Amino acid sequence: MAKLIGKSIIAGVLLSAGSMASAATLSAGGVEWDTTAINGVQGTSGTIQFQQWFSDGTYDVGADGQVIITETSNDAIALGAGGFLTGVGVVNSLSDGRNFFNPSFCQSGPATCELTVAFGGLLAVGVNEFDASNAWLNIYFDDTPDFGISVGSSAYENFEEAQDGNLWASFEFSSFNFDGNGFQSGDVEAYLDIVGGDSDVMDIFDTGSVRDIFLTASSQFNNDVYTNGSTGEFTTVSTPATLGLFGLALFGLGAASRRRTAK
């Protein structure tokens, strides 16, 4: 996600628990987590770490029909219009203390899995402006963890490891609002629509609208072509039908900007 590098995103995954009055434990695709009260309804919150960069947009298609990062799109290009914001990361935690460090959200036991994130397709079309019509974000479940429990300056080198698990959830962007400082830093808020992945995960996240997840994020390039250790958080948001907003903290640009109100 250039300025995508927005506020605390690359995120992680949010899931809607309907309109339950009390907390419940949910499980899907090898992961389990607890719902938590958000604005009077039960939902899911979480955090992620990610690294992002601008690429030439040369992606490929994975085994499940999802878009994937290639060796070419793993190479960073100069920040600016014409580049596609691209990135990788991990889900750090899910609500009620299910954390990534020695992950306690793995159904098979602590430290037996990882949830990794890959995203791209966010085309910079002008200063502080992105075209998200072909943007995507995928989350993978891997029961042989090999990406790493933290995201540092060289996380991009592990783009294959970030995509070698089972496709847990695949999202498209239904909106993307960026408020930044050129392409060096900024804040982003976006909605995502789940379009693929594990069937149980889809049943949990799919609200029947194009706003299944709400994402905010921030990050900085620090005069480099790759960001270093960006973080994000996500939370569900209630919708008119049932609880349906998944606030994914994903990629985004910078800490130096203010966040905008999501539409």
Can you spell out the DSSP letters for 75-123?
S---SSTT-EEEEEEEEEEETTTEETTTTS-BTT-TTS-EEEEEEEEEE
Would you place residue 8 in the very low, low, confident or very high pLDDT band (cuts 50, 70, 90)?
Answer: very low
Region of poorest pLDDT, from 56-60, 212-216, 233-237, 243-247? 243-247
Residue 199 has pLDDT above 90, yes or no: yes
Cα–Cα dist 123/207, whole Å: 27
> Between the CA of residue 235 and those of 41, 45, 46, 143, what are the distances in Å?
12, 4, 6, 25
Residues with Cβ within 8 Å of 186's Cβ and at least 6 positions away in sequence, in order, are 2, 3, 4, 5, 6, 128, 178, 179, 180, 218, 252, 253, 254, 256, 257
Residue 125 contacts residue 115 (beta carbons within 8 Å): no
Averaged pLDDT, 63-69: 98
Region of poorest pLDDT, from 36-40, 91-95, 198-202? 36-40
The percent of residues in the chain predicted with pLDDT above 90, rounded, is 44
Would you place residue 9 in the very low, low, confident or very high pLDDT band (cuts 50, 70, 90)?
Answer: very low
- CA-based end-to-end distance of the chain: 18
Q: What is the pLDDT of residue 101?
A: 62
Averaged pLDDT, 173-199: 90
Q: Taking the domains of the chain in order of start, what are their residue ranges?
A: 25-249
Would you place residue 96 in the very low, low, confident or very high pLDDT band (cuts 50, 70, 90)?
Answer: low
Residue 9 contacts residue 48 (beta carbons within 8 Å): yes
Cα–Cα dist 186/149, whole Å: 25
Residue 14 contacts residue 247 (beta carbons within 8 Å): yes
Q: Which of 179, 165, 171, 183 shows the shortest CA–CA distance to 226?
A: 183
Structure tokens at 121: 């397709």
Residue 99 has pLDDT above 80, yes or no: no
Rounded to a whole number of angstroms, the CA Rg of the chain reads: 16
Residue 19 has pLDDT above 90, yes or no: no
Dump pLDDT digits (tens) for 101-150: 666 889 998 889 999 999 999 999 988 899 999 999 999 999 999 998 88
* DSSP-assigned beta bridge partners for residue 51: 88
Q: Which of 116, 121, 53 shows the shortest CA–CA distance to 89?
A: 116
DSSP 150-187: S--TTGGGGTTGGGSSEEEEEEEEEEEEEEEETTTEEE
Dump pLDDT digits (tens) for 228-254: 868 787 876 554 333 333 333 344 444
Pairing between β-strand 166-181 and β-strand 213-220 as defined by DSSP bridges: unpaired
Task: Quote the mean pLDDT of the chain.
Answer: 81
Q: What is the pLDDT of residue 17?
A: 36
Would you place residue 27 in the very low, low, confident or very high pLDDT band (cuts 50, 70, 90)?
Answer: very high
